[in-house]
Structure 1
C-alpha cells in the first residue's frame, strides 16, 4: 500500500478494475458463438482468481521489495503470464475461434475504462506516486481512446456510419497510445531497466491495488485491440 494516499483513489481504481472485469464478461456473454458464451462463468472465475493472486503478491510487498532484481518481479509473475495467454489465444485454433467470436462493438465499448484510469493516474501524480509523464499533462494521451470509444462503437458499429477501414485505423492509433503509456510506465518504475523519472518514479504499479493496471486492465485492453484488428482485417463475406 502507498502511504498517505487518499482512500478515494484506491477505491476508484478498484471499482474501475471491477468494471473492466464486468465489461469483458459482458463481451464474452454476448458472443455470437454459444460455445463461447458457455465459457463466461469459468473465465470470470479464472480472472477473479488471477486478480486475487496479484492482490496477495502486492499486499505481501513482493513487487516493491528488492526492485533491483532482473527481470522485474512484476514482469515475471504479473505481466508475462498475461502476454503468453494472449499469444496462446492467437496461435491455437480454439483460441482463434474464441477471439473471432467476440463482438466487435462490445470490445470497442470496453475502452471506456481508459477514462477513469487516466483520471486516477493524474491523482496518483498529484500524490507523488507516479511521474508527470504518465499523465495527460505529460506523454500520456490514452484518455483520447476512452473518449472516442463510444463514438466509434455507436456511429461505426451500431449505426454503421463509419467504414471498417476507419474503425481499423482507430484501433491501430489507440493501440499505439496504449503501447506508449505501457513503455513509459515500465521504464519509469524502480527496476534495473528504469530509464527516466528517477526524481519521482512510478511506484504505484508495484503497490495494491494499482498492480492490477499492468497485470489485468492493460492486457484486457490490449487483447481487445488485437482481436478487433484481426477481425477487421479478415475479408467480410
Structure 2
C-alpha cells in the first residue's frame, strides 16, 4: 500500500476518531465504552500493521476477527441490563448525526478505488450507495429531532433503509476480497481493508454505525408502543 498518496490514510484515521468522538458524546461520555474501543483499536492496529490480515487463505478468513467480536458485543447489549441501560441513555440525536461520517468514508473508498486498492463495486460509482445515508443524516437530525416534523415511521424507515445499505456494502466488501469464496472484482479485489488504518473501517466504524442504527430503532419502536 506504499503507492497510495499521503492524504488517503488521514481520511480514515480522522473519520474513525470522529466516529468514536460522536459515540462517546452520544453515550453520555461513557468511560467503559471508550476504553473498550481504544483497546480494540490498539489490538487491530498491531494486527493490521503486522500483515496478519494479508493472509487470505483459510476458512473462516482472518478478516472475520475484524467484524465478529464487535457484532457479538453489540448483540450482548440487547440481552444484558447494563447494555440496555447504555442504549436507553444514549442521545439518539447525536447517533443520527454520527452517520455523517459515512461521507468522508465513501470519499476515502473512492480514492482507494482510483489507486487500485478496492474495486469500483465498493464505491458510489458501483453498487455502494451508503453515502446517501451520510448526506441525508443532517436533514434527518434537524427535521426529525430538532424541528420534530418527521414522523416516527419516517425515522424508522430511514434507519432501516440505511441498515440495508450498510449490509450491502459490508457483503460487497467481503465478497470482493481475495478469499476462497470471492464472488466479485477478480480483476481488482478488495485488498485495502487488510492494512492499517483501513482495517479500522470494518473493525470500528461499521460496528459503531450499526450500533447507532440499532439503538435508534430500539428507541423508536419502544416509543411507538407506549400509550
Normalized against structure 1, the TM-score is what? Answer: 0.92
1:22 aligns with 2:12: no
Counterpart pick for 1:50 among 34, 37, 40: 40
Superposed structure 1 runs of 4+ greater than 6 Å apart: none
1:220 aligns with 2:208: yes
For 2:101 and 2:218, locate their aligned partners in 1 and report how far apart those are by CA, in whole Å: 22
Secondary structure, aligned partner of 1:192: coil
Stretches of structure 1 lacking an aligned partner (at least 5 in a row): 30-36
Per-residue CA deviations over 1:138-182 (Å, capped at 9, x if unaligned) read 000000000000100111111101111111110011111100000
Secondary structure, aligned partner of 1:220: helix
For 1:88 and 1:151, locate their aligned partners in 2 and report how far apart those are by CA, in whole Å: 31
Per-residue CA deviations over 1:91-143 (Å, capped at 9, x if unaligned) read 22221121122111111001000000000000000000000000000000000
For 2:199 and 2:218, locate their aligned partners in 1 and report how far apart those are by CA, in whole Å: 28
2:8 maps to 9
Normalized against structure 2, the TM-score is what? Answer: 0.96
For 2:2 and 2:155, locate their aligned partners in 1 and report how far apart those are by CA, in whole Å: 42
Counterpart pick for 2:58 among 66, 69, 87: 69
- CA-CA distance at 1:227 after TM superposition: 1.0
For 2:186 and 2:220, locate their aligned partners in 1 and report how far apart those are by CA, in whole Å: 41
1:157 aligns with 2:157: no
For 2:85 and 2:23, locate their aligned partners in 1 and report how far apart those are by CA, in whole Å: 17
2:154 maps to 166
For 2:68 and 2:130, locate their aligned partners in 1 and report how far apart those are by CA, in whole Å: 22
For 2:209 and 2:11, locate their aligned partners in 1 and report how far apart those are by CA, in whole Å: 18
1:201 aligns with 2:189: yes
* CA-atom RMSD in angstroms: 1.0
1:135 maps to 123
For 1:49 and 1:229, locate their aligned partners in 2 and report how far apart those are by CA, in whole Å: 28
1:41 aligns with 2:58: no
For 1:13 and 1:84, locate their aligned partners in 2 and report how far apart those are by CA, in whole Å: 24
Per-residue CA deviations over 1:28-75 (Å, capped at 9, x if unaligned) read 12xxxxxxx5xx22321221111111100000000002x111111020
Secondary structure, aligned partner of 1:196: coil
Per-residue CA deviations over 1:216-237 (Å, capped at 9, x if unaligned) read 0000000111111111111245
Secondary structure, aligned partner of 1:199: coil
For 1:15 and 1:4, locate their aligned partners in 2 and report how far apart those are by CA, in whole Å: 20
Secondary structure, aligned partner of 2:134: helix
Stretches of structure 2 lacking an aligned partner (at least 5 in a row): none
| Equivalences for residues 67-106 of structure 1 within 5 A | 67-75=56-64, 77-106=65-94
